[in-house]
Amino acid sequence: MIHILIADDHAVVRRGLKQIIMEEYPSAVVGEVGDAESLVAELVKTSWDIVICDINMPGRSGLEALKQIKEINPLIPVLMMSMYSEEQYAVRVLKGGASGYLTKDNVHDELIKAIQAIKLGRKYITPSIAEKLADSLNITNNKPIHELLSNREFDVFKMLASGKAVTEIASRLSLSTTTVSTYRSRILEKLNVKTNADLTRYALENNLI
């Protein structure tokens, strides 16, 4: 019997994932949580075989949750999932210890394949992700500047580049506006740009939005 924990802030997504899993594994135990804090709490008190975690959750992001999951249990496999394309997050989460990455538009076709691979102790990556990983390992001196951003800075960067205001980002991430503004200043400095419009242009040029 396999025990799978799903973390996503949308109940309809959790139900859909659970249905796909139960069709393939009728005896599976499938748990659900709606945010990263509940995910971490559940992992502390209960043993799970696989975690399926959305990247974009309110409060603590999936990227931060991944780091904490690996601190709690380095051996538990984590399948990260997102509405964003592979170019934006795949390499980052795999380097962070995830066992695989799926976009939500292909989850119906790929979820069971990913679970089967992870059960065997393998990582689940598409050919395009494999190519990006190889490129990231081979090219060290020409690393994209945005890879220097921390996971939280990267989250804030993407929201700023997508046109979201500081107040909206603060609400979404459960941070103060002062903290978000501090992150913004760091991001501008690291990317060597001056305005949010520059961030948007950089993100578009690097296929990040």
Residue 103 sits at φ, ψ, to 5 deg, of: -90, 150
Amino acid 107: pLDDT: 84
Amino acid 58: pLDDT: 76
Please give the CATH number for the structural domain made up of 3-138.
3.40.50.2300
Query: What are the extents of the domains in the chain?
Result: 3-138, 145-204
Give DSSP secondary structure letters for 7-69.
Answer: E-S-HHHHHHHHHHHHHH-TT-EEEEESSHHHHHHHHHHS--SEEEEES--SSS-HHHHHHHH
Give DSSP secondary structure letters for 130-197.
Answer: HHHHHHHHH-STT--GGGGS-HHHHHHHHHHHTT--HHHHHHHHT--HHHHHHHHHHHHHHHT--SHH
At the second CATH level, the architecture of 145-204 is Orthogonal Bundle (1.10)
> Pairing relation of β-strands 78-82 and 50-54?
parallel
Q: pLDDT truncated to tens, each residue of the chain (209 aa)?
A: 899 999 999 999 999 999 999 999 999 999 999 998 899 999 999 999 999 999 888 777 788 889 889 999 999 999 999 887 666 678 788 888 999 998 888 888 889 999 999 999 998 887 767 776 666 655 555 667 888 888 889 989 999 999 999 999 998 888 899 999 999 999 998 888 889 999 999 998 888 87
Amino acid 133: pLDDT: 66
Supply 154's token pair.
Answer: 């990267």
> Pairing relation of β-strands 50-54 and 29-33?
unpaired
Q: Of 94, 100, 106, 103, nearest to 121 (Cα)?
A: 100
Supply 98's token pair.
Answer: 């995830």
The answer for residues whose C-beta is within 8 angstroms of residue 81's C-beta and 6 or more apart is 8, 52, 53, 54, 55, 101, 102, 103, 104, 107
Amino acid 95: pLDDT: 82
DSSP tag of 84: S
Which contacts (CB < 8 Å, 24+ apart) does range 188-196 have? 190/145, 190/148, 190/149, 190/153, 191/145, 191/146, 191/149, 191/157, 192/145, 196/160, 196/161, 196/163
Amino acid 132: pLDDT: 67
CB 7 within 8 A of CB 13: no
